[in-house]
């Protein structure tokens, strides 16, 4: 990414009136003043979020509110976002992909980043009146079905597509940044086991220990699988907005920092394994996965069986075990954020245990 003439604010406090008027598109009127509403209560783990309330000059007009996003304030979170390329990825998504998708994503008014990803800034559409499901309470089967319908549409659009290779910022799973996560996994593994070992049991502790010691082998294994697509890769409840100004039936997908080239069922496993209460997931998992697969077929995906979909789902849950270890030192920022992080770390591991993913280890160990 080349240099741009605009300053890039390091935090929300660095956004001022002159800068905002300078970077907003020509179809947005002159902003006379704005107020900042923090959105930091247990959200924005990898970035700082705020809603800007815009007041226009004279006859000027434009959106009443926009969402501003900058790098995380916590050093540990900011380091991970930069080291793994998350910030650059989301900026490039909004610059190159967002406007051409068939699914609904926020309009980007401005997206910019330094060459190494920090600082970065996004000014995007605020989906007024929309609601987000509660990540901690867990989503309902109906909410999961509606989200997976959007996910399937995204996956089908890029399924086995040569367009993926034309996006060098969209990495496969075995990219050097992710492969460098193995030392991070091994460093954090003792603390993860101390924190969660009793709840996940000795068998899953063994599985996770093995996966962390063979993390690079696992990444090569999943990256070599065929039928890859554009995956959201952060497919959790609070990254989907229901209704609001776009209409009651609308579902808007947000937050593309983690997007990758991967098998589509990663997103399915991410959603069901991380955003559903365990009992709810167990009761509806089979129907939801069958529905996701049917939606792919309906949109033209062929040569991909339901059995293969289930296999990718189980392998994704296994991979999430190591991912949970790698991000286990991220800071939630407050009590709700800490509870959110614990759910994100522990639920996929429990789902992996339900599916006895340890029998997949011989494929790459």
Q: Are residues 251 and 150 in the same domain?
A: yes
Q: Are residues 55 and 100 in the same domain?
A: yes
Peptide bond into 119 cis (omega under 30): yes
Q: Are residues 170 and 261 in the same domain?
A: yes
Domain interval for residue 154: 141-363
Please give the average pLDDT of every successive group of 10 residues along the chain, which has 365 residues.
68 95 95 90 70 93 95 83 87 95 96 91 96 91 98 98 94 92 95 94 97 97 96 94 94 95 98 95 98 98 98 98 89 72 88 97 96
Query: What is the per-residue pLDDT for 45?
Result: 66
In a domain, 133, yes or no: no
Q: Are residues 116 and 205 in the same domain?
A: no
State the Cα–Cα distance between residues 348 and 341, nearest whole angstrom: 12
Q: Are residues 106 and 146 in the same domain?
A: no
Pairing relationship of beta strands 120-125 and 108-113 according to DSSP bridges: antiparallel
State the Cα–Cα distance between residues 335 and 346, nearest whole angstrom: 17
In a domain, 2, yes or no: no
Using an 8 Å Cβ cutoff, are 98 and 108 in contact? yes
In a domain, 6, yes or no: no
Q: Are residues 201 and 327 in the same domain?
A: yes
Say which CATH number the domain at 47 has: 3.30.200.20
In a domain, 354, yes or no: yes
Query: What is the per-residue pLDDT for 116?
Result: 87
Which pTM does this prediction carry? 0.91
337 Cβ contact list (under 8 Å, min separation 6): 41, 42, 43, 45, 331
In a domain, 152, yes or no: yes
Q: Are residues 71 and 160 in the same domain?
A: no
In a domain, 7, yes or no: no
**161 C-beta neighbours (distance < 10 Å), count:** 14
Q: Are residues 167 and 306 in the same domain?
A: yes
Query: What is the per-residue pLDDT for 30?
Result: 95
Query: What is the per-residue pLDDT for 188?
Result: 95
State the Cα–Cα distance between residues 278 and 253, nearest whole angstrom: 24
Query: What is the per-residue pLDDT for 5?
Result: 60
Using an 8 Å Cβ cutoff, are 246 and 104 in contact? yes
Query: What is the per-residue pLDDT for 64?
Result: 96
State the Cα–Cα distance between residues 87 and 324, nearest whole angstrom: 20
Q: Please give the tally of structural domains in the chain.
A: 2
């Amino acid at each position: 990414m080349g240099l741009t003439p605009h300053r890039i604010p390091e935090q929300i406090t660095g956004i001022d009136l002159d800068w905002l008027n300078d970077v907003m598109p020509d179809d947005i009127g002159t902003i006379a003043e704005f107020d900042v509403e923090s959105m930091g209560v247990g959200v924005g783990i990898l970035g700082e979020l705020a809603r800007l309330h815009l007041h226009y000059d004279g006859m000027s007009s434009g959106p009443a509110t926009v969402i501003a996003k900058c790098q995380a304030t916590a050093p540990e979170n900011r380091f991970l976002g930069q080291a793994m390329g998350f910030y650059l990825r989301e900026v490039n998504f909004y610059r190159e992909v967002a406007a051409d998708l068939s699914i609904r994503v926020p309009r980007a008014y401005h997206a910019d980043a330094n060459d190494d990803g920090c600082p970065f800034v996004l000014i995007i559409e605020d989906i007024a009146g929309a609601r987000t499901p509660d990540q901690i309470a867990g989503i309902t089967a109906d909410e999961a079905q509606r989200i997976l319908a959007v996910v399937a549409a995204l996956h089908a659009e890029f399924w086995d597509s040569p367009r993926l290779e034309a996006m060098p910022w969209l990495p496969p799973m075995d990219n050097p940044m992710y492969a460098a996560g193995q030392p991070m996994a091994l460093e954090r593994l003792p603390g993860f086991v101390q924190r969660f070992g009793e709840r996940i049991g000795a068998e899953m502790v063994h599985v996770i220990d093995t996966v962390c010691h063979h993390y690079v082998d696992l990444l090569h294994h999943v990256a070599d699988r065929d039928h890859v697509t554009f995956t959201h890769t952060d497919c959790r409840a609070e990254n989907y907005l229901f209704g609001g100004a776009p209409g009651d039936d609308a579902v808007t997908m947000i937050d593309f920092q983690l997007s990758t080239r991967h098998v589509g069922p990663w997103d399915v496993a991410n959603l069901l394994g991380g955003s559903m209460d365990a009992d709810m997931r167990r009761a509806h998992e089979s129907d939801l996965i069958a529905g996701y697969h049917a939606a792919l077929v309906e949109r033209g995906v062929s040569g991909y069986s339901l059995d293969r979909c289930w296999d990718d789902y189980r392998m994704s849950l296994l991979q999430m075990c190591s991912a949970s270890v790698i991000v286990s030192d991220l800071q939630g920022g407050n009590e709700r954020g800490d509870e959110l992080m614990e759910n994100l770390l522990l639920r996929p591991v429990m789902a992996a245990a339900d599916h006895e993913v340890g029998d997949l280890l011989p494929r790459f160990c």
